[in-house]
Amino acid sequence: MKTTIKEVAKEAGVSISTVSRVLNGRDRVSRHTINRVREVIEKLQFQPDFVARTMIMKRTSTIGLIVPQLSNEYWALMSEVIQDELWARGYTTLICSTDNEPDKENAYLRMCSERRMDGVIYCSSPHYGLAAGEQIEALKTAGIPLVSLDPNIAGVSCVIGDHLQGTYIAVEHLIRLGYGRIAYIGGPAVSIEREFGYRKALMMHGYTVDESLIRVVQGQSFADGYEGLQSLRASGIAFDALFCGNDLLAFGAIKAMEEAGIRVPEDVAVVGYDDIFSARLFKPSLTTVRQPIQDIGQELVQLLLASLETEPERRTVRKIVIPTELIVRESSGSGQMKA
Amino acid sequence: MKTTIKEVAKEAGVSISTVSRVLNGRDRVSRHTINRVREVIEKLQFQPDFVARTMIMKRTSTIGLIVPQLSNEYWALMSEVIQDELWARGYTTLICSTDNEPDKENAYLRMCSERRMDGVIYCSSPHYGLAAGEQIEALKTAGIPLVSLDPNIAGVSCVIGDHLQGTYIAVEHLIRLGYGRIAYIGGPAVSIEREFGYRKALMMHGYTVDESLIRVVQGQSFADGYEGLQSLRASGIAFDALFCGNDLLAFGAIKAMEEAGIRVPEDVAVVGYDDIFSARLFKPSLTTVRQPIQDIGQELVQLLLASLETEPERRTVRKIVIPTELIVRESSGSGQMKA
DNA sequence: ATGAAAGCGCTAACAA
DNA sequence: TTGTTAGCGCTTTCAT
């Protein structure tokens, strides 16, 4: 049986309220009593019951974190950063990996309100966000503060990577190197903004966007990249550079080129997005756009905690955009002089 | 303000116990009452307070999971598998990434007992386990069931990959391909058993173990592998194959060889361990030993839940060893005929 | 500075 | 089948 505050009180010869007071340290207790109680606590190995405490205090000191997939390096890192940050500020993080299943996401979101999370950080991708709309509303109704990585949820503060700018600098990098026929392979959802960045870069540099160089594929995986490139090749269109919506897509595309005898970067320069761990190891090492996960995570936490410490009526909705960084490696080549 | 069971009771014109009964569904309630209460619950959007319920039931339906580093692909996957498995069985997983810091590990372990986790799955590496000994004991004293990936905790059931066998088959693979001078680079802790597997394979095949071919490095990282190989080269010793305690070490070693003009696998065949995601992408793609994370995770969960459902006195300590699998790719070459 | 007592929202005997 | 009551382990007025 666990030791309770009652036993401590009896053993120390004081009332439970006194024990509670030394536990919480806000009310004043005589030095002498404090010491005596502390001793007993030590001796009895007493640990206050967090659950009971929670019930009264009406706060769990726990934040729910919803991510699409823990086995995805990006989300794993994000989770770690957020957990560390929250831990440092006295919160426990309940990490929930939805595996991109809307049902699971709903269930987890629901759990967050049942279990009285103090707040929720929602990092699921917009693509799947639709199904969660109801639960998100439920959280809001329950008065649970929420921040998100998805800018498309009304009335919810968010922190986002600047995908448009990220893609812009990536494509601009290719343009500066002298490549003129830059193809694009991207997935759905968030990648939309990356496509815009691609278009913007071309336009700002006086190029016309050739729609036949653009491939919007089904998913975000290696296989999708492979297919995207097949499709590009099948159309017979010529290109000397390629921007991919993420690193995995880039790996897949490079694989397809390799099989077709196209050399990277000699024949086609490639740039990815995300800077996943393998990007450095891959051969050729991948030029890519790095998202400052650390910064994003910290901002999310700050935003949420700020919300927690503000009365509901005075809370404001913020949208914070974090700049990205281009990491130049081998795959984008050393440039190419136009004939 | 959250709706409580009281308001539901009043609105439905029944007592709170009746509401509780329809909520839990074990006592029998008349069809009619059930419907009426359900309606009110629906109408009031009532969600029973998990915390209050927990307090009485003395179970949180939550399992603590301690992993060394979420940003490590291996642990991320393991966490995901375990969380899925537990979720499917009605438990929530509280994932805690200790970042290999003993203090943090202790704090998390402590939290697990404060927060009354129903059980704990301990996946921290033995190397850091020492510091946690006290908290582990505390958990045991508190009667919180515990399972582990580490076979070295007395009185705790564990599930482990068969490192000895894994390394054995890896090295045997190299021997069968005709390599005679097989070097070893491995990290500390768990890798000890891998070293044993290496020795065993050599011995079983009639080779003498040449100690000068063995390098036990500081850590498990890319840099450590790089250094390990430098050290091997510095000693001037000849080798035609190399086994590395994990894939990252292998990548590092290959990098070092590459810089030294040693070709893999033509000059030196390499085998890694873990089959991390990049192993496939790396060039040359890495022959490696795959740990069946899925199986390990599921066994851990089963072991723990079995423990939960058994009265403390009747619990048994089990050690489950999961076989590993060799994934042959390019880095081990196609064999080499001895002169 | 300390104690007594009233709950937090719910479940689980025990009655009726 | 349903209601009444007594807590779960703690914090927090309100007295003293």
Q: Which residue has the tokens 């009354």?
A: B116
Q: B226 by DSSP, 3-state: which? A: helix
The pLDDT value given to residue B338: 41
Same domain, B150 and B297: yes
What is the 8-class DSSP label of residue B125?
-
Query: Rounded CA gap, B180 and B177, in Å?
Result: 9
| pLDDT per residue as tens digits for the range A122-171 | 998 655 545 567 888 888 888 899 999 988 888 899 999 999 999 999 99
B58 CA to C5 C1' in angstroms comes to 25
Query: Rounded CA gap, A86 and B277, in Å?
Result: 29
Q: A328 by DSSP, 3-state: which? A: coil
Mean pLDDT of B101-121: 93
Buried b (16+ CB within 10 A) or exposed e, B127-166: bbbeebeebbebbbebebbbbbbbbebeebbbbbbbbbbb
Mean pLDDT of A231-257: 96
Tell whether A277 lies on the interface with B, counting CB pairs under 8 A: yes
The pLDDT value given to residue A339: 34
B30 touches strand C (CB under 7 A): no
pLDDT value at B141 more than 70:
yes
The pLDDT value given to residue B339: 34
Same domain, B211 and B283: yes
A120 CA to D8 C1' in angstroms comes to 28
Among chain A residues, CA nearest to B276: A278
Q: Is residue B134 part of a domain?
A: yes
Using alpha carbons, list the distances in angstroms from residue A34 to A9, A204, B278. Answer: 12, 70, 56
| pLDDT per residue as tens digits for the range A51-79 | 999 999 999 999 999 999 999 889 999 99
Write out residues whose CB is closer than 7 A to strand D. Answer: A 2, 4-6, 16-17, 19-21, 23-24, 26-27, 46, 48-49, 52-53, 55-57; B 13-18, 21, 27-30, 32-33, 52, 55-56
Mean pLDDT of B158-170: 95
First to last CA, chain B: 83
CATH number at residue A49: 1.10.260.40
Q: Is residue A38 part of a domain?
A: yes
| pLDDT per residue as tens digits for the range B32-45 | 999 999 999 999 99
Reported confidence tier of residue B194, pLDDT bands at 50, 70, 90 = very high
A21 touches strand C (CB under 7 A): yes
pLDDT value at B1 more than 80:
no
The pLDDT value given to residue A201: 97
Parallel/antiparallel/unpaired status of strands A92-97 and A62-67: parallel
Same domain, B157 and B304: yes
Q: Which residues contact B60 (CB under 8 A, 6 or more apart)?
A: A51, B54, B115, B116, B117, B118
Tell whether A320 lies on the interface with B, counting CB pairs under 8 A: no
- B73 contacts A114? CB cut-off 8 A: no
Same domain, A302 and A263: no
The pLDDT value given to residue B130: 58
- CB A162 within 8 Å of CB A323: yes
Quickly count: other Cβ atoms within 10 Å of residue B103's Cβ.
10
Q: Is residue B284 part of a domain?
A: yes
pLDDT value at A338 more than 60:
no
Same domain, B247 and B179: yes
Tell whether A281 lies on the interface with B, counting CB pairs under 8 A: yes
For chain A, give the number of residues. Answer: 339
Among chain B residues, CA nearest to A252: B281
The pLDDT value given to residue A188: 81
Same domain, B183 and B146: no
The pLDDT value given to residue B281: 85
Reported confidence tier of residue B335, pLDDT bands at 50, 70, 90 = confident
The pLDDT value given to residue A287: 98
- CB B215 within 8 Å of CB B237: no
The tokens describing A225, both together, are 């990249």
Same domain, A283 and A296: no
| pLDDT per residue as tens digits for the range B300-326 | 999 999 999 888 888 999 999 999 999
- B71 contacts A142? CB cut-off 8 A: no
pLDDT value at B65 more than 80:
yes
Same domain, A285 and A168: yes
Chain C bases under 7 Å from protein CB? 1-5, 7-13
The tokens describing B172, both together, are 């045997």
Same domain, B170 and B238: yes
Same domain, B278 and B177: yes
CB pairs under 8 A between A and B: 112
The pLDDT value given to residue A127: 53
Tell whether B221 lies on the interface with A, counting CB pairs under 8 A: no
Q: Considering only A105-119, A120-134, B255-269, which range has the smallest mean pLDDT?
A: A120-134
CA dihedral A305, A307, A309, A312 (to 10 degrees): -160
Please give, rounded to a whole number of angstroms, the shortest distance from the CA of B71 to a CA of chain A.
Answer: 5
The pLDDT value given to residue B27: 81
Using alpha carbons, list the distances in angstroms from residue B316 to A191, B156, B270, B310. Answer: 52, 9, 41, 9
Same domain, B181 and B111: no
| pLDDT per residue as tens digits for the range B283-293 | 899 999 999 99
Mean pLDDT of B322-335: 93
| pLDDT per residue as tens digits for the range B2-34 | 889 999 999 999 999 999 999 998 888 899 999
Q: Which residues contact B235 (CB under 8 A, 6 or more apart)?
A: B212
The pLDDT value given to residue A126: 54
Same domain, A103 and A204: no
Tell whether B44 lies on the interface with A, counting CB pairs under 8 A: no
Reported confidence tier of residue B62, pLDDT bands at 50, 70, 90 = very high
CATH number at residue B79: 3.40.50.2300
Please give, rounded to a whole number of angstroms, the shortest distance from the CA of A3 to a CA of chain B.
Answer: 10
Q: Is residue A338 part of a domain?
A: no
pLDDT value at B129 more than 90:
no
| pLDDT per residue as tens digits for the range A185-198 | 998 876 688 999 99
pLDDT value at A336 more than 80:
no
Q: Give me the domain span that covers residue A52.
A: 5-57
Whether this prediction's pTM lies above 0.75 is answered by: yes
Q: Is residue A231 part of a domain?
A: yes
The pLDDT value given to residue A153: 87
Compute the C-alpha angle B314/B315/B318, nearest 5°.
140
B336 touches strand C (CB under 7 A): no
User: Among chain A residues 49 through 78, which have CB within 7 angstroms of nucleic chain C?
Assistant: 52, 55-56
For A47, which of B48, B92, B114 is closest by C-beta distance?
Answer: B114
Q: Is residue B338 part of a domain?
A: no
Q: Is residue B339 part of a domain?
A: no
Percent of chain A with pLDDT over 90: 78
Reported confidence tier of residue A2, pLDDT bands at 50, 70, 90 = confident
Query: Rounded CA gap, B104 and B231, in Å?
Result: 34
Cβ-based contacts of B270 with chain A (< 8 Å): none
Count of structural domains within chain A: 3
Chain D bases under 7 Å from protein CB? 1-5, 7-13
Q: Is residue A84 part of a domain?
A: yes
- A92 contacts B79? CB cut-off 8 A: no
pLDDT value at A102 more than 50:
yes
Query: Rounded CA gap, B262 and A286, in Å?
Result: 23
